[in-house]
Amino acid sequence: MTTAPSPNGAAPQRQLEAAQQQLLQYARDLNRVFQTEHEKDAALRSTTRQLLSFAQDLNHAFREEQQKARELERAYHDTLQRLLRASHYKDQDTGAHNQRLAHYARTLALFLGWAREEAERLFAATPMHDIGKIGVPDAVLFKPGPLDESEWNLLKRHTTFGASLMAGSTSPLLEMARKIALYHHERWDGSGYPQGLRGEEIPPCAHLVMLADQYDALRSERPYKPGLSHERVREILLEGDGRTLPQHFQSLLLEAFRELQGKFEEIYERFRSPARRAA
């Protein structure tokens, strides 16, 4: 005898089919999400590869520019050395003087916390401080007696003349050398030349060279004066003598000199000119 299907038997079947359809929809949705994320991931990997390639290209270009800059800076340095050799023809003691000043200035800069690179640039630029004197007549430069007013005004022009030789360059070395040439006779109290700058108006590189130059000038024999002992020069710089005064220098710089004055004496003795050493 055949049994009739239950009127409620179709309901579980429909529920099962509905559940299957729902699961299939979930699977399709998950697959779409997966595909989207996969495409995003592929795009991200592609973008990353491109960025890495760009970074490598930029790094290569940067290294090439660095090399060109180093070569250009070496060319500028060579130009400075040739100018210095020209200035040495006027005064055989100039080379030893310039060498000492470079060492004084670098010693001061490092003591005051300058970065090594800047201190080395100062070392290279300092010997250019008096390059403008190649434009001053020998009769004025080596006059054994006091200069008259017109001669003094002519001598003071060596600052602007020297700076003009190095003007207009993008080289950090030449720009530092220009500032030193122009401003190394400016004084902290505003009594220097050529512009009468005062205090922090004076570029630090020029002010360091100013103190170094003052020390070496007092130590060195000139046609118009004898050289002084280290002890006497130290006393003049720190206490003054009526002509050179402590207010001509930044107090911080004078304190640095007080700490380093022994090294200044060592540098002077190590790089004395051959003629002075033989005497």
User: In terms of domains, do 140 and 107 share one?
Assistant: yes
Let me know: does 137 contact 185? Beta carbons within 8 Å. Answer: no
70 and 168 together in one domain: no
pTM, whole model, 2 decimals?
0.71
Instruction: Give the per-residue pLDDT at 9.
Output: 59
Q: How far is CA 18 from CA 5, 12, 30, 99, in A?
A: 21, 10, 18, 96
Model pLDDT, residue 28: 79
DSSP helix/strand/coil, 198: coil
**How many folded domains does the chain comprise?**
2
Kindly state whether residue 200 falls inside one of the protein's structural domains.
yes
Domain co-membership, 207 together with 234: yes
Best CA proximity match to 103, nearest among 123, 133, 118, 76: 123
User: Over 90: is that where the pLDDT of 183 sits?
Assistant: yes
Q: Does residue 245 belong to any structural domain of this protein? A: yes
Across the chain, mean pLDDT equals 84
Pair (231, 120) in one structural domain: yes
**pLDDT for 81 beyond 70:** no
SS3 89: coil
Helix axis angle, 251-270 to 230-239, nearest 10°: 170
Least confident of 26-40, 98-112, 113-127: 26-40
Number of H helices, E strands in the chain: 11, 0
pLDDT per residue as tens digits for the range 186-224: 999 999 999 999 999 999 999 999 999 999 999 998 877
**Pair 119, 157 in one domain:** yes
Same domain, 115 and 194: yes
Q: Is the pLDDT of residue 144 over 90?
A: no
Same domain, 204 and 122: yes
Same domain, 109 and 55: no
133 is catalytic: yes
Range of the domain at 148: 92-278
pLDDT value for 278 = 36
Residues 72 and 147 in one domain: no
Is position 7 within any domain?
Answer: no
Specify if 141 maps to a domain.
yes
Q: Which of 89, 117, 140 is the last residue of a domain?
A: 89
Q: Is residue 3 part of a domain?
A: no
Residue 153 lies in a domain: yes
Q: What is the distance between the alpha carbons of residues 154 and 135, in angstroms, rounded to a whole number? A: 10
Give yes or no: residues 27 and 103 share one domain.
no
Fill in the DSSP letter of residue 190: S
Question: Nearest-5° angle of CA 242, CA 235, CA 272?
Answer: 110
- The CATH code of the domain that includes 250 is 1.10.3210.10
Higher-confidence position of 93 and 35: 35
> What pLDDT was estimated at residue 115?
97
Pair (106, 221) in one structural domain: yes
pLDDT in tens, 123-136: 999 999 998 988 88
Residue 2 in this model has a pLDDT that exceeds 50? no
Residue 5, preceding peptide bond in cis (omega within 30° of 0): no
User: Which among 71, 89, 107 is the end of a domain?
Assistant: 89
Q: Which one of 40, 133, 225, 263 is the catalytic residue?
A: 133
Q: How far apart are CA 139 and CA 115, in angstroms?
A: 41
Q: Which of helix, strand or coil describes residue 191? A: coil
Q: Of the candidates 208, 263, 273, 276, which has an alpha carbon nearest to the alpha carbon of residue 230?
A: 263
In a domain, 27, yes or no: yes
Is residue 4 one of the residues assigned to a domain? no
pLDDT, tens digit (0-9, with 9 covering 90-100), for 28-65? 777 777 777 777 777 777 777 776 676 677 566 666 66
